[in-house]
Amino acid sequence: MDKPVIVTVDDDPGVSRAVARDLRRRYGQQYRVVRAETARDGIEAVKEMRLRGDEVAAILADYRMPQMNGVQFLEAAMDLYPYARRVLLTAYADTDAAIQAINVVDLDHYLLKPWDPPEEKFYPVIDGQLDAWQRTDKVERAELRVVGDRWSAPSYQVRDFLSRNHVPYRWMLAEDPEGAQLVKAAGDGCHLPLVVTADGETLESPDQATLAAAVGLSTTPATDFYDLIVIGGGPAGLGAAVYGASEGLNTVLVEAHASGGQAGQSSRIENYLGFPDGVSGQQLAERARRQALKFGAELLTAREVTRLEPRGQARVIGFSDGAEIAAHAVILATGVSYRRLTAPGLDDFVGRGVFYGAALTEAPACQDSEVYVVGAANSAGQAAVYLSGFASKVHLLVRGDGLEKSMSHYLIEQIAAIPSIEVHVQTEVVGGAGDGHLESLTLSTKGEERAVDAQWLFVFIGAEPFTGWLGDTVERDAKGFVLTGPDLVQGGRRPRNWPLRREPYFLETNLPGVFAAGDVRAESIKRVASAVGEGAMAVALVHRYLEKQ
């Protein structure tokens, strides 16, 4: 079998030879090293390798090249070899470009020149990239196809689930020629949406568990007992899974829908440390998911947790299908969901013009339309900015007097600089109407009502914690948020189930060994960074708890 290839491209002949020399010295027995001194030659070489069927393990490109810079080269090369690891060679003055490349081409690493000695500054990086490439499933799957109706809530739910779980698919309408052929092939009485898998299996109006299993997502636990169960796959849950697994705990994360939680629906997060050019919620969630898997965490998708109970020293969670798993400790990171609008008529159009959250799958369909966004916090602002790239007009509806109390300053400035975004203060949605999908809204501004034509409404209001399933096991405040640490013992009140002579840890609930992190916790700071931090802190407290058992 031919050796896999490491490609290096640098327009400085001396540097190009040095890179190739160092690579051959370390990896020449297992890999073939191909070098090019121009971006054009590099692209031609990569194209030839693709035609021959060669495997490319890693591509190293210099940032400063005259024909195309390294970021552009890697972007072109990834179309031919999407699984190759991408490394940018850059000088210290170009680190901003390297950081930008992280977002543009999902850069795996950047190396500062010079890297002497290579044993310390070069080989450890390349070792890690080649190891990651070897562990990647590089089988190119055939296309997944989804057929449905334009204004169908079930069709939207299937597309949203696939998109948020990073499963590529092709969407087609049932009345399109190809869509109609697939529906006809499925047989009489086909129930839409129709999902056709890579091997030709057809799923009619599948539920999430069936769909998850069909596309290869993990839904079944590998064992019945773990060191740590993390419930919820948002930033807090993913942070807990990464730190728990990396510190040697046998960790499983259980998510009902898709990794990322509410933050995963954000079109752009620009105030998260380390991403000066911003990162989408889906990108951040996917990287965290891959990181958790890298450290050995197990991730279960489309599994709904319905109960939590103590059994001696074990903490047991039950699923909606009756199955259960147990662990020494549990971290609750179920997050929050957007609150529903109560205006008459809107519930009839959820998934058919009314969407709770960013609904990124719908944005391209908003091209040249007017859209309405409800909310005054960062999530609403991010959605308005993102949708302005598609819609002819974005109306941001704010119940209060302005955005300053709840939205970050940088977002307020961005919104003010985009002419197609109009902010309507003291405005609420009081009604919706349509035939089969949303067609109009009734708005109230300072008590005066008016009707507007509208097919798109995106809602980002309030926060309802997903905690009703906990019953009386875990104490919560009046709004349903989980009480932890000092909040449990205010006024000298001792929580139920709490041992004598023991005070709860900062993030621990009234049930010893059960912790809460992120938005679901009472008095938490509702930011992505703080949620990740609480997830990591909860793991540290789990270690302390386990040491005392």
How far apart, in whole angstroms, are the C-alpha atoms of residue 510 and residue 522?
13
Q: What is each CA distance from 513 to 139, 241, 311, in whole angstroms?
A: 41, 16, 12
pTM: 0.74
User: Which helix (H) or strand (E) covers residue 435, if one does?
Assistant: none
- What pLDDT, on a 0 to 100 scale, did the predictor assign at position 69? 84
What is the predicted pLDDT for the residue at 141?
A: 53
329 forms beta bridges with 228
* Nearby residues of 368 by Cβ (< 8 Å), 6 or more positions away: 391, 392
The encoded tokens of residue 299 equal 């991730």
Write the DSSP symbol of residue 267.
S
Q: How far apart are CA 240 and CA 540, in angstroms?
A: 9
Collapsing DSSP states into helix, strand and coil, what is residue 351?
coil
At 461, list the tokens: 């209001």
391: left (phi over 0), alpha (psi -120 to 50) or beta: beta
Res 499: pLDDT: 60
Tell me which residue of 17, 15, 36 sits closest to 5, measured CA to CA.
36
Axis-axis angle for helices 95-104, 70-80 (nearest 10): 20
Q: Could you give the CA distance from residue 409 to residue 252 in angstroms, rounded to a whole number?
A: 38
pLDDT at 100: 63
Question: What is the pLDDT, as a whole number, of residue 98?
Answer: 62
Q: Report, as ranges of residue numbers, the positions in the chain whose pLDDT lies below 70.
A: 1, 92-105, 137-142, 277, 358, 489-504
* Strand pairing category for 440-445 and 448-453: antiparallel
pLDDT score at 80: 82
Residue 136 is inside which H or E element, if any? Answer: none
pLDDT, residue 142, reads: 56
Three-state SS at 373: strand
Buried b (16+ CB within 10 A) or exposed e, 124-146: ebbeebbebbeeeeeeeeeebbb
Distance CA 236, CA 335 (A): 8
List of domains in the chain: 5-135 (3.40.50.2300), 145-215 (3.40.30.10), 225-337+464-547 (3.50.50.60), 354-461 (3.50.50.60)
Residue 509, C-beta contacts closer than 8 angstroms, at least 6 positions apart = 332, 474, 475, 482, 483, 484, 488, 495, 515, 516
Pairwise CA distance, residues 476 & 509, whole Å: 9
Distance from C-alpha of 58 to C-alpha of 84, rounded to nearest angstrom: 5
Q: What is the 3-state secondary structure (H, E, C) of 463-515?
A: CEECCHHHCCCCCECCCCCECCHHHHCHHHCCCCCCCCCCCCCCCECCCCCEE
The alpha carbon of 214 is separated from its chain's Cα centroid by a whole number of angstroms, namely 20
Q: How is residue 526 written in tokens?
A: 């509702």
Residues 6 or more apart in contact with residue 60 via CB below 8 angstroms: 6, 7, 8, 9, 10, 19, 87, 88, 89, 111
